[in-house]
Amino acid sequence: MKAIFSVMALFVSISVNSQTANSPKIFEKDRFETGKGKLVITFIGHGTLMLEAGKTVIHIDPVTREADYNLLPKSDIILITHEHGDHLDLKALALITQPQTKTIVSQSCSGKVENAVVYKNGDAQTFGDITIKAVPAYNIVNKRDGNPYHPKGNGNGYVITFGGKRIYVAGDTENIPEMADLKNIDIAFLPMNLPYTMTPEMAAAGARSFMPKILYPYHTGETNVQLLADLLKDSKIDVRIRRMK
């Protein structure tokens, strides 16, 4: 009887483990009240995010390795920061694009995404209650073979304004001088992984240049994100660490 019970227990254990492995990924979410309704941020993974601004769904750099997009809402707006494979994934786009979806891409994605609109740094447009502006995202220091991983003008960060809230999603960038031009940012996402973006020290310097109310590190790789919180503990910036792996 003991042997039979042991086999049954092993079978149950395997079944539970298998079910856990095949379960849909559960994402952390933060919710904010705005003048136009709720803003919900879903932290998907790496550089991938989803925003629900009222009834509008905004996908940012959707990538299938980070989520099963069959299970997520279709997009009203898609924002692509640049052409690298961990940001531009045509399979993910196909799964969430509707006939009415507005897809906005950087110059480095020109011709790569069907029916997309290319935004240069500085371009902006309003869609109902939402305004989207493309801002610079590039490398100064970090280079490969003498050339930057992200040349100036190729990629975009985006500032999204909804209901009086301003959200800055930096894309792959360093702490560039243009960050100091950002005004009244409520929520910011800054990348932090070498050699492609920033060290914690660079991210802290970038954040101090425009002082967002809330800062989320993202696109962090194996970087110790707590270092950023420690570097900014004497500031008024609320550093919030969320699961992005």
DSSP codes of every residue in 71-104: SSPPPSEEE---SSTTT--HHHHHHH--TT-EEE
Whole-model pTM: value is: 0.90
- Indicate whether 2 pLDDT > 60: no
Beta-bridge partners for 174: none
156 touches 106 (CB < 8 A): yes
3-state secondary structure of 225: coil
Cα R_g (the chain), whole angstroms: 20
Number of DSSP helices (H) and strands (E) in the chain, helices first? 4, 16
Chain segment 92-122, per-residue pLDDT in tens: 999 999 999 999 999 999 999 999 999 999 9
Q: Helix, strand, coil proportions of the chain in percent (round to 5)?
A: 20, 30, 45
Q: What are phi and psi of 108, to 5 degrees?
A: -70, -10
98 touches 74 (CB < 8 A): yes
240 touches 214 (CB < 8 A): yes
More reliable by pLDDT, 192 or 10? 192
Name the fold adopted by 26-239.
Answer: Metallo-beta-lactamase; Chain A (3.60.15)
Chain segment 162-220, per-residue pLDDT in tens: 999 999 999 999 999 999 999 999 999 999 998 899 999 999 999 999 999 999 999 99
